[in-house]
Structures are given as C-alpha cells and as structure tokens.
Structure 1
Amino acid sequence: MTGTTTPNVPRPRWWCALPDTASAAPVTAALGNEGLVAARHRSGRAWIVTHSNTPSPQVNVLGAVSVAVPVAPVPRPVALESAVRSAVDDGEFTPLMAATGGATVVLAEGERLRVVADAAGFHRVFVARCVGVPVLASHADVLRRLVDAPVDRAWLAAKLASPEMPSPVRQNRSPFVGVHPVPAGHVLVVDGHRIRTARWWRAPEPVGGLSDGAAELAEALTQAVGDRLGARAPGRASVQASGGLDSTTLAFLTAAADPLLVTTAGTSPVDDDVVWARRVAGTLGLEHRVVGTEEIPLFFSDLDRPIGAGMDEPCSFTAGGARQRYVATVLAEHSIAVNLNGQGGDEVLLAPLAWLPGGRGAGRLTWRTVCGHAALHGVSTMALLGARCRRRGYPAWLRRTAADLRHPAPTAVDLVGWEAAPLLPPWATREAEQLLAGLLGEVEPKPVHPDAGVHAAVVRIQASAYRARLYADAMTAAGVPTVMPFFDHAVVSACLAVRPEYRGDPWWPKPLLRHAFRDRIPAHLLARRTKGHYNHDLYRGWAAHCGQVQALLADSRLAELDLVDPDRLRTELAAFGPSGLPPGFVTDLVALEVWLRDLDRATAPPSRGRACA
C-alpha cells in the first residue's frame, strides 16, 4: 500500500472487507502495512482488516453466516438471528439495519460477501479491485492508496459546483478512478470475483400524522442517543451546543450522563447562540464551555496544515479547519469519549418545498401556508405555485441542469426543484463545464423516489450525511470520537414517514421535533426562532487572511488541471465580500485546493512490483 502518513496528522479510522479467496493474500499483506486483521473467515483467511487505531468490529457467527459490524453503535436487543435470516434468505435488510442504527453491516457466507450501506449515507462504503480481488472499505482513500488510483478530473469539475454535487454523480462516482461508491441504501454483493449492487431501502411514503410521527421520532432519537452513549469508551460525553433545537434536544437526552456542553461564539451582533446555549446549560445544571471569539482562530487560518491525513474528499469546513482543530483540542482536554453533534437535524426534520402539490392538489393546502413559505423565501405566492405547476420530470430536470450550469435558476424554480441545481463559479473553465455536463449526460436519469418531494428530502439528507461524515472523521482522528444521532436509521425513517406539511411549517420551526419533546424540554427553550451563522466571522477571517489565500491559489492545482481560469479567479477574489459572490464558491474552492495539496503530501510514488499495482 503506497502513501506516507503526514507527520502528526492521524488518519481516519478505516476498515476493509475481503472475500474468502486465496488470491486475496497479497491484499491482506499490503493492508498490513498500517492495518491489522480484526476478523477472519472460517477458512482462517483475513475477512475484516482495520486501521490500527480502529476499535475491533463486533462479530457474531449465526449458523453458516458470520456478521460483522465494523463501527459502533452496539447492535440493539432484537432477534439478531431472525434479522440475519431475513437478509440472507429474503433480501430484506431493514430489520438488520434497524438493529445497528444504520451502521454498516458485513455478512460472510461461504464465498459470498455482502456489505450493507446505510440509508442516510453517513457510513459510506467503497469498492475497488486489487489484483482482481474485490476489496470493500469504509474510506475511498485507503483504496486509492491500495491500487494507486489517480484523482478523477471529471469528479473535481463536479465538486466545483455549488451548493451540491448532483446526487447521481455523488452516488455513483468517487474522487478516484477505479474506486466506486456503494450508493446509500444499497447492498453490495460479492460472489467470488463478481460484484453487483441492489437497493435494499426505499423511503417510506410520507403519509403519517404529526402526533404518531412525533412519538416515533421521540422513541427513535432517544434510542439513538442511548446507543451511542452506551457504546462509548470510558470517559465523559459532550454535546456541541448551539442553543438551537437540535443540539438542545441532544443535551436533554444526554443530561443523565452529565455531559460537557461546548459552544463556539460568533462575532455577528445578531448571533444569539451563546445566549440560548447558556439557558440550556443553566436549566440542566451542566458544565458549559464557551469558546470565545478572542481565543478561537479566524477562518482561513493555517491553511497549510492538513485537515487530516487521508480524508476521502475536500472538507466543506476547510476554511474553518483551524477552528475545528481548536475545538477538538478543547474537548480532548476534558477526556471526551464521545461527542454528540446535531448535524443532520435540519435535513432530517424539515421538508424541501418540492413537496408542494401543483394544479388541483393545491386546494388541499391553506392559502396561508403557501403564502408563508413564499414570504419566508422572498418570492411571490403566484411565482412559487407557478414554478411548481411547470415542474417537469426528473430526466427533464437533469437535461435542463446540464444545459445551463452558469446561470442560477429563479428562486421559486429552485425551491420546488427535484434537488438543488448545481451552479459553477465564474472562474470554472469551459473544460470544467463540459466535464460536468458530460457526467450528467451519462448518469441514469432515475430519481430515488418518483415523488419529487421525497426525492428532494432524501438527496438532501444524503448530501448532508456525506459532509458530516468528513467532520466526524476529522474530529475522531483528532482524538474526539464524534457521533451524529440524527442520521440514525430509525430517526430518518420516522421523519420521512410524516406528511411534509407537518415537517415544514413556515410559521413554527421544526414542528415535528417540538411536538416530539414538548413534555421533556421546557417550552421556553423550544421557543427559539432564530438561527446563528458564521458569515460575519467568515468575512472577518477573509479580511485578515485574504493575502495568504490568494498566495495559495496563485499556484492553483485546479488551474494546472485546466478546471479554473487563474486570471478570472484573481479578479473575482479581489472583489470578494458580503455583497458579492456566494461564500460557498470561495470556501469550496479553498477546500479543493487544500485537499489536492494534502494528497500530494500524503502520497509516495508507487513501489515497483508492488502486489496490488
């Protein structure tokens, strides 16, 4: 396995699964350079290989089937054998995934190997062939180094798009040529040297009521938090508490464990995160650590330091990487064994407006509700309904998206679209545009659900989960194991099963969560209607460090790849500020450039004659 570990920068905890074949011996040897065999097939051959810092997988042998859960949480007390039989005999994986909270499950039965990817996409799975042997892994980077996979230039072009890479590209393409992702909600089956994937999960139909859905959410989230607290190593728990509804709920659910609450203060005069977080801490009587604006590094600080060795892809928080490292240091000083983070709450609990019915179906909604959504997003009610009535099917949406990657769609059209339309930044070259359009033309134009509202909700959850996984990897590698219970399988399913109008009330934020915990959290803490953000801090960091960022980009790796026009980039960055470009264009660009440099630092030339070349 090629690659050098960047000094003092730990890698994410990874695992690999190998089929029971003698030809996998060279793969086992190559992985042994930095891993160890954590579980074996009945033949004695290596089955699960993990990074040396990865906790041992949980393994159960049930008749002819061996079951491994490479990562926490601990399987729930259900009839595991019955769940495994349903998976093996009937291809029904829902009971098995419910038992693990959505953690990846690996099944071995003779020469057949199955790896089940969770519905949210938080626990990702990748596959590549090494000396012809299918190798499955939790991280793309370990496979990249195993097979010397080059970076996929077309993927980089797609990653330039904001706010999200189109979901069909994300689900079917990794940053590395020859390394393939297993789509979220799918199972990958290896029979000998043959590989196939099949979908095991479909989103529930959103027909449930508020009361029943709230009861299911309360049970699921309580269980998810309890599982993660129960699976932690000896030590204290913490909650990254913004004072928002999601982290407040996590604080109440962990209160019996006496967690440390940690809040990062912002400099915006309207940022009231600290005020609300202090109210939560005071109500629960918990220790509260506020990371002040004077002590935490500015955005765009220390960009020459890697986020982490072996990160699978550019991290959306790279511009704030120094801040992430500082918070991790604060938590590590308190010997935190598990850190709970509320990422995913917005995406799981809320419903994108693609659910709005068109034509005669609009009569089911009150005029007040439609007007409220329109006002909330700054569009007219008629524009919103008109955009919904004109919306076409998913194949047409993909074609239109591929044909116009330079101009944003009207706000109303984007609000009710199948998913967020990708937009290239002004410095993207014509070559980058053609590469992305080509990818969109190659993908199968099939939505994850025929209903646009369900499709939009699912792909938004999965996009958020992919980003959140990188943050959790960085925190865990820094010594602070971080979990995100809102991506738990039962939590996601409970929320998606509720009618969208009950999940997205323009007049009352997050009604499903409020209803679920109204008897456990005081009303005054559920009354918050504001939401903090760090844009003010972002521009403050830019003002202090724009010279260093521009110096970094003067030697742009993306320009070398003909994906970025360096002259246009310099012009646009010179004018960057609160009234100009969307900040996501700049932070995504910085993330890409830093990640490509990290790859340069962490990769050694291939060894001649190496077994997995």
Structure 2
Amino acid sequence: MHSTPGCWFVVLPDRDLHPRVMARLRETARPDTLRVVPHPSGRPWLAGRWTGEEMTVCTAGAVRLAVAGTCSLDAGQLAVRARRIGDPAHIEAALSGAHGCFHVIASVAGHTYVRGSHSGQRRVFRAEVEGGTVCADRSLTLARLTGAAPDTARLALHLAGGRVPHPLAGGALWGGVYGVQPGQALESGPDGRVRTRVWWQPPVAELPPAEAAAGLREALRRAVALRVGSGEVAGADLSGGMDSTSLCFLAAEAGARLVAVTLDWSAPTNQDRAYADHAAARLPGIEHLVFPSADLPGHFSGLDVRGEPTDEPTAAPRDRAQQRHLAEAMLTRGAGLRLSGHGGDQVVQPPPAYLHALLRHSPTTGLRHAAGRRARHRWPLGAMVRALVDGRSYAAWLTQAAEHLIAPAAPTPLGWGPGPRLPAWASAQAVELCREQLRAAAHRAEPLHRDRGRHAWIAMVRQAGRAAGPLSHRAALAGLPAHTPFCDDAVIDAALAARPHEASTPWSYKPLLAAAMNGLVPDHILCRTTKDHCGAEWREGLRRQRRTLAAWAEDSRLVAAGVADADELRRALLSPQLLTGGAPELEATLGAEAWLRDLEHHDARHDAQEKDVAPTSP
C-alpha cells in the first residue's frame, strides 16, 4: 500500500466494513495521521488527509454535511443549511445559491451522498472494497486501496487526447474503479444498494445578450472575490488574452495586490506582450513580471524527471518546468494563490455545432451564420452542407466514430463532437480496444443534451474542467494553489444561459465575455481578435529532448502495455517534425508515457521505503 500525495478523501457507507479497509487507509495516509469523521452511527464516514481550508464539516442533529474545495459557505452557514436536510433528496435544495467549485458529502439517516462539480473539475470515483462501495475524490486513492492496475483499454483511449467523447471521457484508468458522471451524485443506502441521482440540469439558453452578459459578469465577480480579498497578494496569469486579463481586473476590483506573469514568445508577430503591457498599465499597484521565452526552461524540460502521478495522463510534461519557474517567482513575491484563465475558451463561447438548431429554428439567421463561419474558416461547401443536414442520433454518431478512429479528421466541426482520432503509432490492439468501447457506449449512452450544439458545448466545458483538476493538484503540491474561476459551476451556468448564436458569432471574438467585461477591461483588450502561439519554442523543446525521446522510444511503457506500435512510435519521437498529425496527438502520447513512468517510479520508491522500515528478524 502506497501513500497518496496532497489532499484526498474517501467516503464510506454507513455499514460495518471489514477492518482491513481502515487499516489500508491508514497505510495510504502515511506518514501523516489519517483524519476520520464518523457517521451519526459512529461508523467511519469521511477519511483522508485535508486541512481546514480544504474541507468544512458540520453536524446538525443526525445529519453530517461537508464541502471540500472552494465554497461561498462558511462553517456557520453550512450548519444552518444542514438543518434543512431530513432526506438525501433535500441536500441540493438546501445548498441552493452556494457558489464556487466543491464536492458535497452528506450522511443522512443511514444514507451516504457524494457529488463533485458539474464542470468535471472535482470528480467522484467509486470502487468495491471488501464488499462495500467506497467513493473518493481521486481514482488513484481507490487504486491504492484496491491494488488495481491500469486498464489497458482505457489507457488506449487516452492516445486520442481531448477528443474522447461522452460518456467515456474522464473515466478512471484503473480496473474496478469507475467515474461518476459530472452532474450526477452517488447515494448508498443502509442496505448497501447504490444509486445515482441527477442533481444538475443545464439552464435554458434563452437570455438576451445584455442579461446574459450581466449574469456572467456577476458570476465571475463572485468567483474571483471568493478567492482574493482586499490587500491580499494574488498571483495571476496575464497573457494579453481576454480570459486572464478579465480575471486580473476583477481581482484588482476586489482589492487584491497582483503579481502578474506574462510569457513573451519569440514569434515576430507575437502580440501577447503588447496587449499585456496595455492591461498592466491600467491595473493599479500591479507587479508585472515579463518572461522572455529564452529566459525560461524550454518546452518539455525535465521529461526524464519523475513526479507524483496524477489520476490520469495530462499534457503537463510540455510546460511543467516553465510553470514551476513562474510559480516560484510569484511565491517569492508573497502570492498565496494563482488565478488562471484556463477554461475561458470553452466556457464563454459555444462550438460551431450550434448552427444545427439555429438553422431549424431561425433559418435566415442560421444561413447568415453558416456563411460567415464558412468564410472565416474556409470550410468546403459540400462538407458543410452535408454536416448541417445530418440528423444522426448520438448513438449512431458514436457507432460511426468507432469506424473512423484512424481516418482524417472531419473537415467541419459540426458533429456531436470533434470525433476521436488515434495517432499513427497506435497499435492494432489499441484501435480495436477503442472501437469496442465506443460500440459498447453507443448501446447505452444518452447525449448530454438532445440538441447537438448544447451537447457539444457541455462536453467541451467538461473537458476543460477535467484538465483543471490535475492542474490544480500539481500546483498545490508545488506550493502555490491554482484557481480557475471560469470552471466554477455558477460561471458555467451563467454562460450556458446565453443564446448560443449570440454568445459566439462569426464576426466577433467572445462577444459574451466582451459584453460582460465592458467598462471594466480596456476596450483595446476586448476588441482583440488574434491569438498567439509558441510553435517555435515547442519545436525547439522537442529538439533539445532528442536524447530522452530516443531512450523512451527504445524502452516505451506504452509499447510494453500493447497500445503503441514500437516502430511507428520510434519514428514519431525521433522525427516529430515529420508528423502528419499535430501537437495534441504527440502531447497526449508523451503525457501517457510520462504517466506510466511516474506510476512505476512512485511504486518502486515506496516499495524501497517499506523495505527500509520493515522489522528485521531477531
């Protein structure tokens, strides 16, 4: 049994469990003391490792209620809400109006209730442990508790990166460990029976632009003010883009002293620095730190340095060393947290699939938008028309996706989603395993919304939320917690309440956010339509890591797991400039390879530690 780093918790049913369960949990918590909160019956309810800032627990008669994460309710307010609960069905109504990003855990009349955030940033996982269902906020915790190994089929899906569709996206990578879908809660009764309860439904998309913008502004204002206060020092990204810049101005409005960081990429056409400087000049009391890319650790630096494993592979190896460098700079200047604009791209503007419903409900407006999109993105006319008249169900789309895993990407992004694609180096076994999972999902899956545009938007938001979870976890381990206000549930609800064709148009960039920040963020920023890149640094980083990539190619854990073809992977790693795919495919593969190596290193290190402390025979 190996320790799990950082804050974590498990939720135990109100039943007599085998003593081995608590014994394993105590081993998992080493070297720290396991924290345990009992059910009203006296049996263990919550167990794990957390601080008072990370978890708030209250008692109200025979009810136990806890929130983990960032929540607008303090202990006293939570206790008042708990008194309204007499049945698990009352829990969400009692918490109405609370905002932030948090888990909810309750024990009521022998029933255990747990859910995360509907953004997917705070997840819930479950596993059978000694005859009872145990839930946790991290799948890695349950894997340690059950001794589970990575599941090859689920690992293969990760080669598709962020293109894995619902309901397969975000699933646990461990055999016998399963993810609870965001927007659903898990409830277990005294008899041991477990059921899921839907606690969230997307708002109706009906607000006109002015009302939607006002709602988004207020939600973002509350999200930022929940994290920073007057006189507090807060780190922040200031990329020059609309998302991070909006958070900086909201933090300044809340009275925070900002330490903001800007990356100055080397491309001659780079405009991020100029826009960031323009914003910084209008932010009172800001300490603006600009980092030319030449002064930062290169992309993919430290690929051969092992870290603590996360729940699943991420793209963190690309800029992990850079982000650590930036965090240290903010920490030395007194920052207690870091605000990130992550999620803004996905939350404040729907994907183009909104055209489907728009064409059917408002043909004239729909045709104008379709023509504008085609002109802007140079979509082939025939492909666009075929996509727009396509009326396939979600099940049929998943079935077709299973047959197109190694085909070129669709020429227009107008389907139920981007469609999963595996890279050229995926093994034949990986392709077949992914096909089987997609076909199985097609038999049981329901879309996130009957309107494919709404489905695609919610799925895209949850992709951002899932990425924010490991980002926050790694940042906390490094000593500077990262917060992503765009991924707060209330912010997402405010954005989803807008009419899609007004939240995203072919003729303006992020119109909903621009309207929400009007009068607070300078017009020069809100009118920006460009987005810079770090392609030169990305390619140079791979070039400098040739020796490590060559070593990985010769001893790949993905190849050993049977999900990558040795020759094709070697070709990709040694000659990334010849890739027919792109950066996302390679980054997903490097993330999966690094994740397997982190797991291996973590297990070996703890095995060695256990041998060092094992008692010797007399």
TM-score (norm 1): 0.91
Cα distance in 1 for partners of 2:369, 2:540 equals: 38
Report matched runs for 1:279-358 at 5 Å: 279-285=278-284, 286-306=286-306, 308-357=307-356
Match of 1:13 in 2: 7
Amino acid of the structure 2 residue aligned with 1:399 = T
Report matched runs for 1:99-178 at 5 Å: 99-171=98-170, 173-178=171-176
Match of 1:228 in 2: 227
What are the superposed Cα offsets for residues 29-59 of structure 1, whole Å, 9 maximum, x if unpaired?
3222325215332344432223266745212
What are the superposed Cα offsets for residues 241-272 of structure 1, whole Å, 9 maximum, x if unpaired?
11111111100111121121112222222222
Cα distance in 1 for partners of 2:69, 2:563 equals: 37
Match of 2:596 in 1: 596
Could you tell me whether the CA contact under 8 Å between 2:342 and 2:486 is conserved in 1? yes
Change (3 A) 1:84 1:323: farther
Report matched runs for 1:445-464 at 5 Å: 445-464=445-464
Report matched runs for 1:226-305 at 5 Å: 226-229=225-228, 236-255=233-252, 256-285=255-284, 286-305=286-305
SS in 2 for 1:407: coil
Match of 2:394 in 1: 394
Cα distance in 1 for partners of 2:395, 2:480 equals: 43
Could you tell me whether the CA contact under 8 Å between 1:112 and 1:189 is conserved in 2? yes
SS in 1 for 2:71: coil
Match of 1:541 in 2: 541
Amino acid of the structure 2 residue aligned with 1:30 = R
Using CA pairs under 8 Å that are at least 6 residues apart, name the structure with larger relative contact order, 1 or 2: 1
Could you tell me whether the CA contact under 8 Å between 2:235 and 2:260 is conserved in 1? yes
What are the superposed Cα offsets for residues 211-248 of structure 1, whole Å, 9 maximum, x if unpaired?
11111111111111111225x9x962111111111111
Amino acid of the structure 2 residue aligned with 1:152 = D
Could you tell me whether the CA contact under 8 Å between 2:347 and 2:486 is conserved in 1? yes
1:30 aligns to 2:24 (yes or no): yes
SS in 2 for 1:49: strand
RMSD: 2.5
Could you tell me whether the CA contact under 8 Å between 2:402 and 2:434 is conserved in 1? yes
Q: Which stretch shows the higher mean deviation, 125-134 or 581-590?
A: 125-134
SS in 2 for 1:581: coil
Amino acid of the structure 2 residue aligned with 1:37 = R
How far off is 1:24 after superposition?
Answer: 5.9
Cα distance in 1 for partners of 2:15, 2:431 equals: 43
Cα distance in 1 for partners of 2:383, 2:290 equals: 43
Match of 2:430 in 1: 432
Match of 1:8 in 2: none
What are the superposed Cα offsets for residues 310-347 of structure 1, whole Å, 9 maximum, x if unpaired?
31111122222222222222222223212111111111
Cα distance in 1 for partners of 2:319, 2:582 equals: 16
Cα distance in 1 for partners of 2:126, 2:355 equals: 38
Match of 2:180 in 1: 182
Cα distance in 2 for partners of 1:269, 1:391 equals: 45
Report matched runs for 1:183-222 at 5 Å: 183-192=181-190, 193-222=192-221
Amino acid of the structure 2 residue aligned with 1:205 = V
Q: Which stretch shows the higher mean deviation, 211-220 or 186-195?
A: 186-195
1:473 aligns to 2:473 (yes or no): yes
Match of 1:493 in 2: 493
Query: For 1:57, which of 51, 55, 59 is the aligned residue?
Result: 55
Change (3 A) 1:456 1:446: same
Cα distance in 1 for partners of 2:178, 2:375 equals: 42
How far off is 1:584 after superposition?
Answer: 1.3
Q: Which stretch shows the higher mean deviation, 547-556 or 180-189?
A: 547-556
Could you tell me whether the CA contact under 8 Å between 2:355 and 2:366 is conserved in 1? no
How far off is 1:90 after superposition?
Answer: 3.9
Change (3 A) 1:141 1:579: closer
SS in 1 for 2:188: strand
Q: Which stretch shows the higher mean deviation, 52-61 or 453-462?
A: 52-61
Match of 2:615 in 1: none
TM-score (norm 2): 0.91
Amino acid of the structure 1 residue aligned with 2:58 = N
Change (3 A) 1:179 1:235: farther
**Unaligned regions of 5+ residues in structure 2, if any?**
612-618
Q: Which stretch shows the higher mean deviation, 15-24 or 371-380?
A: 15-24
Change (3 A) 1:50 1:333: farther
Cα distance in 1 for partners of 2:471, 2:355 equals: 33
Cα distance in 2 for partners of 1:83, 1:490 equals: 21
Cα distance in 1 for partners of 2:34, 2:179 equals: 23
SS in 2 for 1:197: strand
Amino acid of the structure 2 residue aligned with 1:293 = S
Cα distance in 2 for partners of 1:53, 1:187 equals: 24
Cα distance in 2 for partners of 1:22, 1:541 equals: 54
Match of 1:40 in 2: 38
What are the superposed Cα offsets for residues 528-552 of structure 1, whole Å, 9 maximum, x if unpaired?
1111222221111112222321222
Could you tell me whether the CA contact under 8 Å between 1:204 and 1:493 is conserved in 2? yes
Could you tell me whether the CA contact under 8 Å between 1:12 and 1:309 is conserved in 2? no
Could you tell me whether the CA contact under 8 Å between 1:18 and 1:24 is conserved in 2? no
SS in 2 for 1:435: helix
**Unaligned regions of 5+ residues in structure 1, if any?**
6-10, 609-613
SS in 1 for 2:336: strand
Amino acid of the structure 2 residue aligned with 1:377 = H
SS in 1 for 2:239: coil
SS in 2 for 1:68: strand
How far off is 1:355 after superposition?
Answer: 1.3
Amino acid of the structure 1 residue aligned with 2:540 = R
Amino acid of the structure 2 residue aligned with 1:337 = G
Cα distance in 1 for partners of 2:376, 2:18 equals: 56
Could you tell me whether the CA contact under 8 Å between 2:279 and 2:522 is conserved in 1? no
Change (3 A) 1:332 1:102: closer
How far off is 1:91 after superposition?
Answer: 5.4
Could you tell me whether the CA contact under 8 Å between 2:40 and 2:63 is conserved in 1? no
Cα distance in 2 for partners of 1:544, 1:124 equals: 36
SS in 2 for 1:16: strand
What are the superposed Cα offsets for residues 362-394 of structure 1, whole Å, 9 maximum, x if unpaired?
624164432221122221455423311124110
Could you tell me whether the CA contact under 8 Å between 1:447 and 1:455 is conserved in 2? yes
How far off is 1:124 after superposition?
Answer: 0.9
